[in-house]
A = this chain, B = another copy of it.
């Protein structure tokens, strides 16, 4: 282990072996690595099934580079018994922060919880599956099942609209990382390890429940449909500016509503609607019910102003808003996506080049931030790790 890795980050001392592919498990590992844990991803020689996932640059995967930041990479042929013994030895190596494995790949035989727990009694294993029953499912199939594609997209559009952000993978990855810390706490308190399981589909269903969608689907004879970019139950939508940009603005609270009126000079026009329809726009529900009338007024107003003007007016008045940006505009124009944001640094990714790279979004007052790090080159740490653990 390189000395700069020790004593850095809030999770220094934890060691996780990751057998993974795609998003959820690698993101869970990258999250822990970004907080100072020693995360060792083990792949077959040549790489796992996600080694070449798009987007690519110079033939290398930016996706893999992003999802494996800060880890060590070991390649071992796990089809051979000798390779299986090495990986089992790595997972179950001694040390109070070790004995932790995170995976979304099939576990059976040599890498089952039972087999590995025979080598280390207090093993912690976190297994992510697609479906709870172990069936294959991915973010996009789970999202289709939960119903969001029928609620997303332009009003009047006929088909389902998939999200592009693999949101369920993201949440599942973070929950898997949380599960490791919960199991580590339990092991410190009670000395025992455990198998922890979670599935993408259960995460999506639980979140749909937390947001009220499952209750609504059961209790409401006609649950909500598709409302375009309107944020359900409140005031919030996109508007086009004179210079062809778009902005999102919301008024979730009475105060934000009054700021929006003040910033745009539309308070009187809004009040005229209010008395015409007999509503009270301090109430969120009334802003939602009468949103069409309100949006028409704001639509005309936005079309008469450039984004830069609006930015100045809105920021002065505490309006809740944001400009839409393409990814190119984000990195070109937004200081939050630049080295002015201490979360970011220019990092050289071997074979890809240097580019703006994020560290952990979590800032711990009592620990050093771990500087943003690139992903390893595949197999970069094989010799180092095998030597370190005497395998």
Contacts and interface: CB of A to CB of B under 8 A. Distances in A.
Interface stretch (A50-58, A76-84, A383-391): A50-58
A238 B145 CA distance: 12
The size class of the interface chain A forms with chain B is 35 or more
Interface string A137-176: 1101111111111111110010111111111001100110
Contact of A361 (B52, B151, B205): B205
A227 to B, nearest CB: 8
Contacts of A240: 159
Given A145-B325, A325-B147, A343 B175 contact: no
Interface in A188-226: 188-190, 192-199, 201-203, 205-220, 223-224
A87 interface: no
Contact of A232 (B31, B164, B363): B164
Given A52-B284, A54-B288, 4 more contacts: A165-B211, A177-B178, A183-B364, A218-B356
A146 B202 contact: no
A305 to B, nearest CB: 17
B62 A238 contact: no
A2 interface: no
A301 interface: no
Nearest to A283: B52
Contacts of A111: none
A135 to B, nearest CB: 8
Interface in A230-246: 231-234, 236, 238, 240, 246
A262 interface: no
B364 A238 contact: no
A234 B160 contact: no
B186 A10 contact: yes
A52 B233 CA distance: 10
A358 interface: yes
Nearest to A259: B136
Given A140-B248, A246-B159, A211 B67 contact: yes
Given A185-B181, A195-B365, A355 B163 contact: no
The 6 closest A-B pairs by CB, nearest first: A54-B233, A141-B322, A62-B212, A167-B167, A217-B327, A194-B366
Interface string A61-103: 1110111010000000000000000000000000000000000
A323 interface: yes
